């Protein structure tokens, strides 16, 4: 972890979610034998996710404590509680989803179009799986990511300095922007939160322009977070352009906002080849 020598505050992009990523249930399964964690028991990724649900709120609270700006405690506490509820809902839904993948569930198809789901009897069982998908991908994500980005933005609002000389990132922090941007790219695409992300990014940009009129400049932490978000936006644009003409993913993600999930791409174009 890199901390600028002129600041005791941690870099915001590596504190909250860089420790354990959203899809921790997937990577550990490539390392640990399946028989160690049977499908009717929590997987190693689930245990990582449980740890994440404890560690991340703690880090968010420590992040806010080190902000030079006094933030409303009630809003912080409600945001943290909502964050924990959303992440816990997602934990259950994501755990079941990864077990369905072992049975042939395909992420690039809708729930009702999946071969292992569409022939279930009675048909009301399909409604139950759609409810599970709603809790995981919509309700869980909303309760998880909205307070997360809100807290990041509140922290960012305190990352300004009146001294122009302090408005720069130390050299060792520059290489960290790339993995941080890649991480947020994965968060935005897999979490399907592009609208929330772009709204937060433009709110940050508007705040920077507003503070500049007051001769206030971003400090090293603010520059790091803003640069990470800018790189994320570029990566998302490249990702969408690359898959723009994919007919299957187009059907999976209809509408004006077209941002395919990496795991949908994986099950469609990578795992299907094996």
> 167-181 pLDDT, tens per residue?
788 888 899 999 999
**What per-residue string of b and e applies to 35-64 under the rule 16 or more CB within 10 Å gives b?**
eebeeeeebbbbebbbebbeebbebbeebb
In a domain, 190, yes or no: yes
195 pLDDT more than 90: yes
* 272 and 255 Cβ atoms separated by less than 8 Å: no
Residue 167, pLDDT score: 77
Nearest to 201 by CA among 169, 177, 167, 233: 233
Q: What are phi and psi of 168, to 5 degrees?
A: -160, 155
203 pLDDT more than 90: yes
* 180 and 235 Cβ atoms separated by less than 8 Å: no
Q: Do β-strands 160-161 and 217-218 pair in parallel, antiparallel, or remain unpaired?
A: antiparallel
In a domain, 47, yes or no: yes
pTM: 0.77
Q: Residue 115: give the domain boundaries.
A: 12-273
Query: How far is C-alpha 224 from the chain's CA centre?
Result: 17
Residue 274, pLDDT score: 54
Helices 194-213 and 177-191 cross at an angle (nearest 10°) of: 130
* 126 and 120 Cβ atoms separated by less than 8 Å: yes
1 pLDDT more than 60: no
Nearest to 64 by CA among 176, 193, 158: 158
Who has greater pLDDT, 191 or 228?
228
In a domain, 2, yes or no: no
In a domain, 79, yes or no: yes
Nearest to 205 by CA among 181, 226, 185, 225: 226
Evaluated on CA atoms 143, 146, 149, 152, the torsion sign reads: negative
- Most distant CA pair in the chain: distance in Å? 68
Residue 10, pLDDT score: 41
In a domain, 163, yes or no: yes
Q: How many domains does the chain have?
A: 1
């Amino acid at each position: 972890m890199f901390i600028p020598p002129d600041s005791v505050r941690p870099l915001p992009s590596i504190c909250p979610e860089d420790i354990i990523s959203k899809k921790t249930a997937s990577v550990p399964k490539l390392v640990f034998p399946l028989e160690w964690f049977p499908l009717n028991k929590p997987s190693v990724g689930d245990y990582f996710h449980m740890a994440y649900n404890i560690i991340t709120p703690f880090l968010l609270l420590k992040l806010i404590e080190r902000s030079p700006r006094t933030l409303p405690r009630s809003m912080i506490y409600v945001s943290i509680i909502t964050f924990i509820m959303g992440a816990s809902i997602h934990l259950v839904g994501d755990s079941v989803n990864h077990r369905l993948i072992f049975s042939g569930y395909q992420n690039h198809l809708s729930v009702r179009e999946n071969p292992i789901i569409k022939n279930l009897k009675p048909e009301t069982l399909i409604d139950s799986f759609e409810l599970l998908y709603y809790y995981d991908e919509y309700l869980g994500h909303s309760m998880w990511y909205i307070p997360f980005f809100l807290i990041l933005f509140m922290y960012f609002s305190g990352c300004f300095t009146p001294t122009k000389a302090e408005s720069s990132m130390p050299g060792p922090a520059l290489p960290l922007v790339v993995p941080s941007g890649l991480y947020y790219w994965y968060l935005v695409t897999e979490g399907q939160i592009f609208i929330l992300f772009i709204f937060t990014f433009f709110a940050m940009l508007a705040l920077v322009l507003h503070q500049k009129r007051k001769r206030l400049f971003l400090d090293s932490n603010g520059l790091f977070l803003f640069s990470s978000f800018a790189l994320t936006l570029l990566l998302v644009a490249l990702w969408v352009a690359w898959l723009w003409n994919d007919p299957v993913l187009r059907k999976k993600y209809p509408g004006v906002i077209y941002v395919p999930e990496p795991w949908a791409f994986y099950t469609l174009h990578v795992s299907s080849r094996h």
